[in-house]
Structure 1
């Protein structure tokens, strides 16, 4: 059980990190806090002492307690190696509230580019790195060296077994996949399907989405791998008349797959049903609109930034942090407009 003084300290720290108390602001007095938490001034004083040790507040005799003008958090620099712009937005949004500076490097395509990105950030004097790992990261000796020396690193969007414990913030991909699978089994009674990915199944998000879909369907779709996300999708054509549905690992792939199917006169959802994942902007503009899973990517970014702050302050954090998702029903799965609305209403009630 967490002692009350720590609860009070965490409460105040959260308000400071969210920007509700800004540098130089006076925080409530010991009397007010003791009444608010129904405790003694001694307990409140102990909580304030914890924050003062961290450099977050300054107590001035006769005047009160103030948020430190230049605290240890606001002086820190955070490096970002993340492709998804919504996640980057969430990181920057959180950091802007606490005054930390962010440095974003361009998208990395391979192991060497990832190494150069880390070197570039280190040359800027960053105090921690938030990154979206890939299968290449497993062989990144620079990254491993940083982790071995306890340099703060947070992974987002996917987890990779790199040989060191790394705090990770991800969508609950299994839950999202299972919602897709259950919908297709219960509503559309599908009996066969394929799962299309451009990434290796060792990537946590790829594997967990598949696992969720499999458990939701109660059978195992065949796994099809295309060379790259913007590569050749022609191999899916041979499955169009053999299976009931195609589950794509993400929406960008689904849109490319839909284009390939339509170019070959295969109608969606009449001939085959198509599903994506991410609720990317393209899912709403493709025809037919794409059934998918919505991730709160901005929240993933904000959570990752919050973890980074805790790591910089040498605090313990949870290694696995999952953000829940939501099923988005549209026409590509075979639902008509009214069915789509009914399913969404039912989910909201539950």
Structure 2
């Protein structure tokens, strides 16, 4: 557990890094901060001392505490190995506020490409790497070597067990799955659910979504694994007769599933109800529009960027950081026309 004075220091520093407090700005007084965090002035003073040691703030006796320049931080370089463009946007958005440079590599189709991407970023002199791991990452010895040497690395969107702890920022997939399952149980009486994924349940996001859905439904859905997102969905046509609801692990799979079922004259939601996860842009344009879970992917990126900066500065951070989500109700689940965020 991170001590309160360090949490206060991290809170103030984050606001400075995000531009809420600019160089020369006066930050709240010790009394105000003590009241806000329900603690003593001595604890706040200790937090401010940490920031002053780093040169982030300057305290002027009798006048107040002011933000100083963040020259050291602004010179850092951040490497990005992330496929989700919204997460990348969040990372770049945060880094642009503090002046850090970002280097983004292309998509990673296999383990060798992932290793080469890391080598490429290191050759550019990056001070830390934010990456979206996949199952292939488990065999990445270059990554493991970097982690063993305490090189700053943050995972986003999912947590992969590679034999060592890695700071991770991800959607609260269990919570998202649970509210999705609860909606289908309470409003649509789902009793025969199917869960469709292209990845193993060893992937944290896949497993947590499944567990959340099971909790919300109060029953465990059967599982169908399709080898790839672009794989063969024809099995769904026959299976749809045995299930009243199909939960897809993500929206891209859901759209492919809906397209396959509609071509086979399976009516949605009359014959089978469909739900997805991610609130991708395609969820709005498919017919019927897709009920799904909305993630604040940009916030995931911004949070990851703030963590990598702290790691570069050798600060203590929380290992698992979860971002809450909400359900977007549309027609595919059997609800009426229109869109509602809950």
* TM-score of the two chains, using structure 2 as the length reference: 0.90
Equivalent residues in 2 for 1:83-232 (5 A)? 83-232=83-232
Deviations 1:244-270 (A, max 9, x none): 111110001100111111111111111
Which residue in 1 is equivalent to 2:327? 327
Contact 1:54 1:72 in 2 (8 A): no
1:52 aligns with 2:57: no
Unaligned runs of 5+ in 1: none
Alpha-carbon spacing, 1:225–1:7, altered in 2? closer, same or farther (3 Å): closer
Aligned length: 338
Structure 2 CA distance for aligned equivalents of residues 136 and 48 of structure 1: 43
Which residue in 1 is equivalent to 2:301? 301
Task: Say which SS state the counterpart of residue 271 (structure 1) adopts.
Answer: coil
Task: Say which SS state the counterpart of residue 187 (structure 1) adopts.
Answer: helix
Task: Say which SS state the counterpart of residue 266 (structure 2) adopts.
Answer: coil
Q: 1:33 aligns with which of 11, 21, 29?
A: 29
Deviates more, 1:212-221 or 1:296-305: 212-221
Alpha-carbon spacing, 1:187–1:77, altered in 2? closer, same or farther (3 Å): same
TM superposition shift of 1:36: 4.5
Deviates more, 1:176-185 or 1:115-124: 176-185
Alpha-carbon spacing, 1:191–1:10, altered in 2? closer, same or farther (3 Å): closer
Contact 1:270 1:334 in 2 (8 A): yes
Structure 1 CA distance for aligned equivalents of residues 50 and 22 of structure 2: 18
Contact 1:269 1:333 in 2 (8 A): yes
**Which has the larger Rg?**
1
Structure 1 CA distance for aligned equivalents of residues 4 and 154 of structure 2: 29
TM superposition shift of 1:13: 2.3
Alpha-carbon spacing, 1:92–1:36, altered in 2? closer, same or farther (3 Å): same
Structure 1 CA distance for aligned equivalents of residues 109 and 278 of structure 2: 21
Contact 2:196 2:248 in 1 (8 A): yes
Structure 2 CA distance for aligned equivalents of residues 6 and 162 of structure 1: 29
Contact 1:78 1:102 in 2 (8 A): yes
Task: Say which SS state the counterpart of residue 21 (structure 1) adopts.
Answer: coil
Alpha-carbon spacing, 1:26–1:284, altered in 2? closer, same or farther (3 Å): closer
Alpha-carbon spacing, 1:295–1:42, altered in 2? closer, same or farther (3 Å): closer
Alpha-carbon spacing, 1:215–1:7, altered in 2? closer, same or farther (3 Å): closer
Which residue in 1 is equivalent to 2:277? 277
Structure 1 CA distance for aligned equivalents of residues 330 and 211 of structure 2: 22
Contact 1:56 1:72 in 2 (8 A): no
Alpha-carbon spacing, 1:143–1:10, altered in 2? closer, same or farther (3 Å): closer
Structure 2 CA distance for aligned equivalents of residues 3 and 220 of structure 1: 40
Which residue in 2 is equivalent to 1:291? 291
Structure 2 CA distance for aligned equivalents of residues 161 and 244 of structure 1: 34
TM superposition shift of 1:241: 1.1
Structure 2 CA distance for aligned equivalents of residues 155 and 42 of structure 1: 35
Structure 2 CA distance for aligned equivalents of residues 238 and 43 of structure 1: 64
Structure 2 CA distance for aligned equivalents of residues 69 and 27 of structure 1: 13
Contact 2:310 2:316 in 1 (8 A): yes
Task: Say which SS state the counterpart of residue 190 (structure 1) adopts.
Answer: coil
Alpha-carbon spacing, 1:135–1:189, altered in 2? closer, same or farther (3 Å): same
CA-atom RMSD, angstroms? 2.8
Structure 1 CA distance for aligned equivalents of residues 285 and 181 of structure 2: 23
Structure 2 CA distance for aligned equivalents of residues 269 and 89 of structure 1: 34
Alpha-carbon spacing, 1:214–1:41, altered in 2? closer, same or farther (3 Å): closer
Alpha-carbon spacing, 1:335–1:149, altered in 2? closer, same or farther (3 Å): same
